[in-house]
Structure 1
Amino acid sequence: MTEISLPNAGFFRRLAALFYDGLMVIAIEMIAAGLLIAILQALEAMGWLAISPYVDISDLLTNHPLWSPVFSLYLLSVWAYFFVFFWTRAGQTLGMRAWKLQVRQLDNSPITVRQALIRFTTSLFGLANIMALVDPKKRGWHDWLAKTQVVVLPKAR
């Protein structure tokens, strides 16, 4: 059986999927932050966590010299996990699924965790996709570095 070659995704389709995924990531980040704030609030109420001289938990998480970077790293980890999880499981985030896109290795096999992390860390918040406007293979900077491609899946019949 011969495998059908699928077209590579262009910039605007990638951008649309990124917009959808951005909305999902914002919602997930809000839940993750809210969960942490609720846990810390409970610990403070039980007397197990002292937050003075900070006004509240939010002030502690944004201004404390230790808690602030840990909180930022936590949120970054949640964000990275979202993309790595979906890219390595199905090759698609929810936004990519809506726009019929899939990320694959150059040999059409699923991408690895390492490739997903390379794509995530070099995506420059989606700006790496601009390269798809000028690259003959329509690959973003992060695809080039991770040795991946984003293809357009055929419509379901």
Structure 2
Amino acid sequence: MTTLHKKPLHNKQASFLRRLGAWFYDGLIIIAIEMMAAGIVIASLDMLTYLDLFSYGKHLDVSAFLAADPIWSKIYPLYLSAVFIGFFAFFWTKGGQTLGMRAWKLRIQNQNGSNITLTQSFIRMGTSAFGLGNLMALFDRHNSSFQDTWAKCEVIVLAKAN
């Protein structure tokens, strides 16, 4: 009786170039998501203004209002930040891969192969310096990045499918 075995995960840490490729793909995706998130706010405020349920006051348009209003100028960036953080936290904690990481055959995980926690994802984002923490992978003999060291996780290269 024969059993089919899946190829095991490589324990090889992801190189800087692979990380950069995934970062670029994810950058394009998150830009599109942020544009949709911003569009929802802008369209909603424009609709409320059209229905005379909301007013921009002394501001000419919605962008001027969002930039200058004392409350909205703080809420709007927090909302967009939450969308950004939520995207990465969701994908990293649920499957260990963002869409860009999937394209580049990368997975973020704990040393034992389990998914990282929400706390680890927050630590990783907070110490990544918007991706610049990956530069450490150029100089570390294990290709570990700054954010992976602090979050106590690793980004590995997955085995190719048969």
Fold match by TM threshold 0.5? yes
The number of residues matched between the two structures is 156
Unaligned 5+ runs, structure 2: 1-7
Deviates more, 1:48-57 or 1:26-35: 48-57
Aligned residue type for 2:123: I
CA–CA separation in structure 1 for the residues paired with 2:148 and 2:13: 11
TM-superposition CA deviations, 1:85-107 (whole Å, max 9, x none): 10011100000000000000122
Large movers: runs of 4+ above 3 Å: none
CA–CA separation in structure 2 for the residues paired with 1:18 and 1:54: 37
CA–CA separation in structure 1 for the residues paired with 2:115 and 2:35: 30
CA–CA separation in structure 2 for the residues paired with 1:63 and 1:86: 34
CA–CA separation in structure 1 for the residues paired with 2:109 and 2:14: 12
CA–CA separation in structure 2 for the residues paired with 1:44 and 1:25: 28
User: What is the TM-score of this pair, normalised by structure 2?
Assistant: 0.92
User: What is the TM-score of this pair, normalised by structure 1?
Assistant: 0.94
Pick aligned residue for 1:151 from 145, 149, 156: 156
Q: Partner of 1:51: helix, strand, or coil?
A: coil
**Which of structures 1 and 2 has the bigger CA Rg?**
2
Residue 77 (structure 2) pairs with residue 72 (structure 1): yes
Measured after TM superposition, the shift of residue 65 of structure 1 is 2.3
Pick aligned residue for 1:24 from 19, 25, 29: 29
Measured after TM superposition, the shift of residue 5 of structure 1 is 4.7
TM-superposition CA deviations, 1:39-91 (whole Å, max 9, x none): 11111122221212111111111222221121111101100111001001110
Residue 105 (structure 2) pairs with residue 95 (structure 1): no
Residue 51 (structure 2) pairs with residue 53 (structure 1): no
Residue 20 (structure 2) pairs with residue 15 (structure 1): yes
